[in-house]
Structures are given as C-alpha cells and as structure tokens.
Structure 1
Amino acid sequence: MLDIIWTIAPIFLLIVLGNLLRRNGIPSVEFWNLNDKIVYWVLFPALLFHTTSTLQLSSGMFGSYAAIILSGFGGAVIFSLVSARLCGMPGTIGSSVLQGAARHNTFIALAVADRVFGTDGLALAALVTAVLIPVTNIVIVTLMVGMLPQKEDRSVVRAILRDLARNPLLISVLLGVVFNLSGIGLIPVLHDTTDILGGAALPIVLLCIGANLRLTQMKASTVPVVLSMAGKFLIFPAAMFAAIQIVGMQGLPALIAMIFACVPTAASSFTLARQMGGDAPLMAAIVTLQTLVSFITLPIAIVLLGRVFGVSF
C-alpha cells in the first residue's frame, strides 16, 4: 500500500504545486493559460499519437475494452439522470451532476498508468482513451443540449460539436490507430519528435490541472455534490467491474480500465458548463472536491483492485 502511495504521490504533489504557483501569480496567469493551449494542442496529441501508433492492437482487446468501458460510463450516465430527476433538480444542476458522475480526467489516468506501470500501462491507457474520448464528448454534449435552455438558438452547441470534430486528442488517437494498423512501422524523425514532446506532456498537464482548481468556489449544495461523488466513485467503478467479470478480463488490462473509472471528473467540465449555460460554480466545486478526494481513494482502489486482478507492483 505504501509503495503505491509513494509512487502516486508525485502526481498529486505536482497538482498541488500548480495550484500554489497560479494562486501566487508565478510566473503569471497568462503563462498558465498558454500552458493549457500548448498541452492541449501539442504535447498531449504527440503523446497519444506516439503511444497508439506503437501499441500492439488486437480487435479482440479493443472490443472487450469498448464493452467494459462503455458499461461503466453508461451506468454513471443513467444513475446521474435518474437521481437528478428523482430529486427534482433543474437542468442546470442536473447537468453538473451528469458531468461529475460520468466524465473522467484523462490526464490523471494517463499519468497514473505511466507512473505505476510504465510503458505497458501507458499504452493500455491510450487505448482506453481512444474509446472514451469520442463517446464521452458526444453523449454528454447531446444530453446537456436537452437539459439546458439554449438562449441563442443552438450556436453554442454547434461550436462545441465543431470543436469536437477538430479535437486534437481525438484526432491524434485516430491517426495513431490508422498509422498502427497500416503496418508502416516506426519513422525515426516523426516518432523521435513525438516521443520527446510526449515526455513533457504529463508533468506540465498535472501542473495545469492544479492551476485550474478553484478552491474559492467549493461552497455548493450538498445533494448534487454527493450524487456526483456517488456516480463517479461508486456507480462508474461498480458497473465497469461487473462488466469486467462478465467479459472475464484479468491482469493489467482490467486494472488500467478501472483506473479510468476511479479518477475524478474532467477539469474541463467547468468550461463546458459555463459555455452551455449550466451551473458553473457548482461544477467548479464538484471538480475540485473530486480531485481532492481522489488523493485518498485512487491509491486505495489501485491496491485493492490489483489484488483482485492479480497484478503485482
């Protein structure tokens, strides 16, 4: 247990450091805004392309992963929608519960997989990302359209869907898979460059996650926060675990998939809530609280699930 905590601790220390740096204006707010763009448009796409283009893909593995991952995601979506309806929540609050329960922080999951399990873990995490990114964005945006009032026709929605079509993370994963299946092999200059850029992605993105945490906006209604926590840390993992048992998956692939179920919701949920007219302060509180709670829950989950799936550390 302590070994896992010490291994993961630097990840969360970087998140804390990023928050402290931004709160103290080091080096400046503009620096962190630019860092977000560099990570999103350059560093992480390079990491995902390099990983997926060199991963040993099999149709059987991809199909099994899709089944178990979408089961967990679907369970969280259904739970959030039903619970919000039963509690009589308006769409603005219900959409925050939806994002809090069903979205995931890809960057933390990739960082943990890489830190704890090295190249093999990162490759499997990239495969999970290839499945989750398009499905999560399409489903969440579509549901939020129905839950939130659209003031200026559907211009915001069209802009978001247009951004999804040119999402650099999604494009890099798709290009990596196509490149992988083509059988071309490694191209020295291309793969050397993306390898170097990808190596810088994880530490910088963890600093950015911390910089974007909004500790001053943590006051929020108890019920939606609790429901989002239950959906993300109980329903999502439970539904995925049940699917893993049905499929019969074991070992590292099963554990990497479960890591995605156990990480907090995406930091970008706040931005999406603000763009689409949701409850942005509530979403900021959910993101921050889930990230803080995951400091404790994630290492515990990895240790327990590692024993269940027969993974040694």
Structure 2
Amino acid sequence: MLELLLALWPLFALIVAGYYLRRLDFPNEAFWPGAERLNYFILFPALLFSSLATAPLDNPALPRLALAVMLGLGLAWLALLLLRRLRGWRAARFGAFTQGALRFNTYLGLAAVASLFGQEGLTLAALMLALMVPTVNVLSVWSLTAERGVSARGLLLPILKNPLILACLGGALVNLGGLGLPGGSDRLLSLLAAASLPLGLLCVGAALKPEQLGGEIPALAGNSLLRLLAMPLLAWAVARGLQLPTMESTVLLLFFALPTAPTAYVLTRQLGGDSQLMAGLITLQTLLAAATLPLLLTLLAA
C-alpha cells in the first residue's frame, strides 16, 4: 500500500496544484484552454505515437488483452442499456451517465502506469488505448444522440478526427511497416511525451468545478459508485476469468478504476446533453479517485 501511495500521490498533488493555480489566476485564465489544446493535439499524441511505434505488436498476450478490454466494455454497456430501460432516461441524461461510467481520464491513467511500471507499462497502456478510445467514443456519441438518431458519418467523424486515435493508428502503422523512429525522431517524441503527463494533470485540476456538486446528489453518487467501484470489480472479474498476467491485470483494473474524462464535458455540450450533470460527475469522480484508486489497486491487484 505504501509503495502504491508513493507512486500515486505526486499525480494527485499536480491535480490539486492545477486547481489552485487556476483559482489564483496564474498565469492567467487564457493559459488553460491553450494548454489543454497543446496537450490534446500535440504532446499527448506524441506519447501514444512513440509508444506504439516501438511496441512489440507480435506479443502473443495481445489478443487475450484485447478480449479482456472488449468484454469488460461490452458487459458494462449492456448494463447501462438495461438501466436506461428501467429508469427511462432521456438521451441527454443517458449520455452523461454513459460517459460517467465508461470514459476515463487518460492523463491520470498513463501517469499512474508510468509511475508503477515505467516504459513497459506505457507500451501496454497504449495498446489498450488503441482499442478503448474509439470504442468508448462511439458509445458516447450514440448515447447522446439515441433519440434523434445519428448517421454513420456523424458517429464516425468525431472518432476519425480524434488526435489520440490518429496517433495510435499512426504509431501502429509505423511499427508494422518496420520504419522505426530514425534520425533522432525518437528523442524528439520522447521530449514532447515527457511534457504531456505533468501538463495534463495540471489541466485536470484546473478543470475541476466544485460548484457543480450542489445538485443531484443521488445521481452523482450513484454514477460515481458505478465508475469507481463497479467498473474495477468488473475488470478484476474479467482479468481473473481470462487469467491475465499480473501487470496486464493491474493496468486493465487501473483504466477501469479511473475517474471519467474532463473532455466528456465538451462532447456533452456539443451534442445537447446534460452538461451540468456531466461537470458534476467529472469533479466528484476526480476527487473521490484520490482515495478509491490506491485502495482498489491494493485490494484487487494483489
């Protein structure tokens, strides 16, 4: 437990620092949107691209890991559809609940994996993200537009334009083509990647909105329990059922135990979902994850 806390507390310290820096208006309000864009479109894709470009894609464990990821997401999606039918959620609300349950804070996840397992863990996480990011994005868009319908173009376009997905595809193609990262490009990408995780965590803290926690306490608490407790228990069961090795099980569990993604708020607003509920879910889950993440990893990953 102590070793895990030593690995994770600096990550949450950066989140807290980002929260207070923005409240103190430092460096200024205009800095944070630009920092988020820089990280989302340049720095973070560099990390994913370089990790996949050099990953051992012939690893025989990859099909089993892919099965674990898709099985876990598939079971969670079926449970959400059942809840929607039972509770009669409209698309605006269902979309927020879906993202609260299925989406994950990629910045925090990769920073945690890097602290726990180093480059080997980052490579494994990048391979998982290549599967999880497009799948979760499709389900998120569909859930927000379920009542009015959405064309195949409307469903796929946000995914094809997603820089994280493009970086994963580009890195995999470079890897499969045997091109490598010649001429110092590996060093350039590693410098960009090194800046992505601390800046991403600061931006996560800057995006927190505690003022959004005033209403809908039962909804916020229920969805947070689903994301921070039920999802990691599901991942643990899947990992045990498929007999995944220790590191793969831990990384799978970690990504299913992460709080939802701050970018879910943007998608919810763009597609007419309940953005106030989404902001509350992002804030509450991120705050609670400081306690639940080390506890669950200690109990379930042992």
Counterparts of 1:93-172 in structure 2, within 5 Å, are 93-147=93-147, 149=148, 161-172=156-167
The CA distance in 2 between the partners of 1:90 and 1:139, in whole Å, is 15
Is the Cα–Cα contact under 8 Å of residues 253 and 301 in structure 2 kept in the other structure?
no
Listed one character per residue, the Cα deviations across residues 243-296 of structure 1 (whole Å, up to 9, x for unaligned) are 222222121111111110010111111111111111111110011000011000
Aligned counterpart in structure 1 of residue 269 of structure 2, from 274, 278, 295: 274
Q: Alpha-carbon deviation of 1:34?
A: 0.4
Following superposition, the deviation at residue 238 of structure 1 comes to 2.5
* Alpha-carbon shift at residue 60 of structure 1 (Å): 3.2
Structure 2, unaligned runs of 5 or more: none
Q: Which residue does 1:210 correspond to in 2?
A: 205
Residue 4 (structure 2) aligns with: 4
Q: Which residue of 2 aligns with 1:68?
A: 68
Q: Which amino acid aligns with 1:169?
A: L
1:161 shift after superposition: 4.0
Give the number of aligned pairs.
302
Q: Which residue in 2 is equivalent to 1:178?
A: 173
What SS does the aligned partner of 1:29 have? coil
Which sits farther off after the overlay, 57-66 or 30-39? 57-66
| CA distance in structure 2 between the partners assigned to 1:259 and 1:188 by the alignment | 35
Task: Please give the alpha-carbon distance, in whole angstroms, between the structure 2 residues aligned to 1:113 and 1:106.
Answer: 10
**SS class of match (1:146):** coil
Distance in structure 2 (CA, Å) of the matches to 1:280 and 1:251? 38
Structure 1 residue 89 displacement after superposition: 3.0
Cα deviations by residue, 1:156-212 (Å, 9 ceiling, x for unpaired): x96674332121111111111111122233313221110110011000000011111
1:20 is matched with: 20
Residue 225 of structure 2, aligned match among 227, 230, 234: 230
Query: Aligned equivalents of 1:101 and 1:75: distance in 2?
Result: 12
CA distance in 2, matches of 1:228, 1:116: 27
Q: CA deviation at 1:56?
A: 1.3
Question: What are the Cα deviations for residues 72-107 of structure 1, in whole angstroms up to 9, with x where unaligned?
Answer: 222222222322332333332222111111111111
Residue 184 of structure 2: SS of its match in structure 1?
helix
CA offset digits 1:21-75 (Å, max 9, x no partner): 1112111111101001100111001111111111112263222122111222222
Give the secondary-structure state (helix, strand or coil) at the position aligned to 1:28.
coil
Q: CA 1:76/1:223 → structure 2, altered by over 3 Å: closer, same or farther? A: farther
Secondary structure at 1:188's aligned position in 2? coil
Seen in structure 2, the aligned counterparts of structure 1 residues 40 and 160 have a Cα distance that, compared at 3 Å, is farther
**TM-score when normalising by structure 2:** 0.94
Instruction: State the partner residue of 1:311.
Output: none
Give me the CA root mean square deviation. Answer: 1.9
Give the secondary structure class of the aligned counterpart of 1:73.
helix
One-letter amino acid matched to 2:163:
P
Distance in 1 between the 2:70 and 2:216 partners?
29
CA contact (8 A) 2:249 2:301 kept: no
Distance (whole Å) between structure 1 residues aligned to residue 187 and residue 161 of structure 2: 24
Asked whether the equivalents of residues 47 and 190 of structure 2 are also in contact (C-alpha less than 8 Å), the reply is yes
Q: Percent identity?
A: 34
2:186 corresponds in structure 1 to 191
Q: C-alpha separation between the residues in 2 aligned to 1:158 and 1:25?
A: 40
2:262 paired with 1:283? no
Gaps (5+ residues) in structure 1? 308-313
Q: Which residue pairs with 1:246 in the alignment?
A: 241
